[in-house]
Chain A
Amino acid sequence: MDKIGIPRSIFYYYYGDIWKSFFDYLKIPYIISPNTNKEIMNIGLKYGGDEMCLALKTYIGHCAYLKDKCNYLLIPRIDNYGLENQTCTNFLSTYDIVNNIFDTKILNYNINLDNKETLKKGLIKIGTELGKPKHEINKAYKYAINKYKEKRKREITINTNKLNSKKIKILLVSHPYNTYDDLIGKEIIKYLEKENIEVIFSDKFDEKITNKLSEKLSKELYFKYSKENIGSIVYSKDKIDGIIFLSAFPCGPDSLVNELVMRKINTPYINLVLDDTSSFTGTETRLESFIDMLKGGLND
């Protein structure tokens, strides 16, 4: 039977769980690329264009890793979640970019809520293309969504509870595909946890709440994921000690939105912009000094 390849990057961090349960239920075999490593990133850098962000280059690396190990790559095209909730152009263009770089078959569906193209319609399209009966697909969709919602709820509870921790608390404002990527955010989280910091994730709050809250900082944030990130600041600002803005060079939405927000908040923050530079030294200096400051250790 045909095997689906799922790149462990960008979309995976939003839809991975849903896809996995969906395919599991329909008994469709799939393969997920491993955590990002140097080899994958280097292939991505080789094929990627010079103006692509680090995350997109990494994504392309994952596609290159998978393309000979599966029959289809799964790449959605995400246009918007409604007029007020746009996504970055990478979400819209990735399918076409990969389609142009590699000679490989791609399973694709669109999300464009403005045009009533929903996730449900997308997954039904994919299931049908893979020859599954309609009622099975519907059941698989329900199964996947419910399982995802449960997990998401648990994650949100854990993350929100961290706000009451006695440790020093840092809110990491970052997109999940950067936060949880082995070569982008993981090392930073590891460093913070080693320093006994409670790390709170901007993507693990109820997005309906954070989306709305972001209006308190700015009403014109435009991008869905930026709104949720920024809303998490409003949500938690009285309970956290500091904020780390983490973005991948040269992220367009972040460079607009984060810059705007930095000028409007009173909480101490640092801004980390990561590229494929292999040295952790510069990042470490910034983290170490930031933690020093939050711990008040300079002023004994």
Chain B
Amino acid sequence: MKDCYLGVDIGSISTKGVIIDDDNNIIAKEYIWTEGNPVNAVRKLIKILKDNLPQNHQIKGIGTTGSARKLIGLMLKANIVKNEITAHAVGTLTYYPNVRTILEIGGQDSKIILIKNGIITNYAMNTLCAAGTGSFLSSQAKRLGLKPEEFGKYALKSKNPVKIAARCTVFAESDLVHKAQVGYPKEDIIAGLCKSVVLNYLNNVGKGKKIEAPIIFQGGVSKNEGVVKYFKEVLNEDIIVDENSHLMGAIGIAVLARKNKIGKTYSLKLEDITFDTKATECNRCANNCELLKIYRNNELVDSWGSKCGKF
């Protein structure tokens, strides 16, 4: 039997899973949409991964990351649950030990991670505002009647990207509508949008940080060729986009699952497991906390959300 490790990255827009072996080779990988239901998405994901896993392999560690990491960590009984920044950095350093800068744009979050000699020295993440992230791009693609994955190719056709307000998506959207109504070609508008994502990112997340090569761009938006092109143009540096750039978080957490293995063998059979959540409002004090109770096979496994920690 060969040992391998599962990493699952459950983001706001997409859910990613990889299985790696002891030498960081990818045995199976999958990328699906979360569609607002992380539990179902993970069930689907695990089934696909299980079907692709060769016979003589056994899972010796499971890690979860992404915004639904805690919930899915309970569901899969993961041996490690970690935030996505850590996971992304570990994943990237596994394949690119010399990397200096990681740019990452996901569905709702964007971050920049600065690395020196394999050690993270600084990073930043967007604050409350999700301007210029994947969910904004995909909603604009929809409005223009395109699939998100076609977006980048369209942008490359443009010779004159239009100028679009980069500070705020609400302004960006009204700018966009206006430009379309006065007759600018679609590809110029899309290119303008991709460029505005880059400028917005460098302004809001980068905030004048020194971006040094080698630069790796990852997260779902790194699959958009238009955004990649404008990063190259604006930073005047080569931008590396790994073929698995969208999976780096999942790879990183799989590596961490291996490093933190506890000697247990995991089954990927989820069909027989029921997993439910129940939300209630606690009325015992004036805080009225929203409590979330998690049931695995009808057994209460955890409960979140109370400020006092009693429930």
Contacts and interface: CB of A to CB of B under 8 A. Distances in A.
Contact of B90 (A269, A277, A298): A298
Interface size band for A: 35 or more
A238 interface: no
Interface centre among A34, A278, A298 (most CB of B within 10 A): A298
B241 interface: no
A84 B71 CA distance: 51
A93 B54 CA distance: 69
B127 A38 contact: no
Interface string A250-279: 000000000100110000111111110110
Interface string B72-83: 000000000011
A212 B85 CA distance: 37
Interface in B32-63: none
B125 interface: yes
Contacts of B123: 268, 270, 289-290, 293
Contacts of A132: none
Nearest to B84: A285
A268 B85 contact: no
- Binding site secondary structure of chain A: helix
Nearest to A289: B85
A2 interface: no
Interface size band for B: 20 to 34
A200 to B, nearest CB: 19
B201 to A, nearest CB: 15
A171 to B, nearest CB: 15
A100 interface: no
Contacts, number: 76
A298 B89 contact: yes
A37 B287 contact: yes
B119 A299 contact: yes
A292 B127 contact: no
A33 to B, nearest CB: 11
B128 interface: yes
B304 to A, nearest CB: 9
B128 A296 contact: no
Given A40-B286, A285-B67, A292-B85, A263 B120 contact: no
B178 interface: no
A272 B127 contact: yes
A218 to B, nearest CB: 14
29 contacts: A37-B286, A38-B286, A38-B288, A39-B286, A39-B288, A40-B286, A249-B128, A263-B208, A268-B121, A270-B123, A270-B125, A273-B127, A281-B67, A282-B67, A284-B83, A285-B83, A285-B84, A285-B109, A285-B125, A288-B82, A288-B86, A289-B85, A289-B86, A289-B125, A290-B123, A292-B85, A298-B90, A299-B118, A299-B120
